[in-house]
Amino acid sequence: MGKIYQQKDRLLAEKWARAFHPGELAEFQAPLYDTRGINPEDLKTFGIYFYERVMPRADILIIRPDEVLLVEIKTDPKLREVQNLLFYRDALTHDEIRRPQIAGKKIRMIFISGKTDVRLKARCSELGIEYQEYYI
């Protein structure tokens, strides 16, 4: 069951990016290279890409000249998933690879829901997250 939801989320992400941000480079399932929890000696030995599989992943990451779009997309969202964006924003601000690209830029968090849910919309508003509904 989880695999089907992942495929639906990916399809929704691709369609949303093509519809609302055509021509922009969108990274899907973008790993955020937050190395704060990694032993510095291990990091020197193995390199940052060795840890890519354990890094948090943003559904969509779009880096513009003036801002960064950090997007979480769920076809069947749960209320607790909204807070993932706060965790991703924190990880992105400590991203060792993208730090030069995102320095001084505003990070705009967007939660895309595949269904209408007023509780999600209210929670996003409380956390300063932009809420959008988009259907396949």
Per-residue pLDDT tens, the chain, 136 aa: give them: 456 657 888 888 888 888 888 888 899 999 999 888 888 898 889 988 888 888 999 999 999 999 999 999 998 899 999 999 999 999 999 998 899 999 999 999 999 998 999 999 999 999 999 999 988 7
Closest CA to 115 of 87, 84, 66, 81: 81
Residue extents of the structural domains in the chain: 2-30+58-133
Fold of 2-30+58-133: Restriction Endonuclease (3.40.91)
Each as own residue / partner, the long-range contacts of residues 86-92 (CB below 8 Å, 24 or more positions apart, any chain) are 86/127, 87/56, 88/32, 88/56, 88/58, 90/34, 91/32, 91/34, 91/55, 91/56, 92/32, 92/34, 92/58, 92/61, 92/68
**Contact indicator for 72, 93 with CB cutoff of 8 Å:** no
pTM above 0.75, yes or no: yes
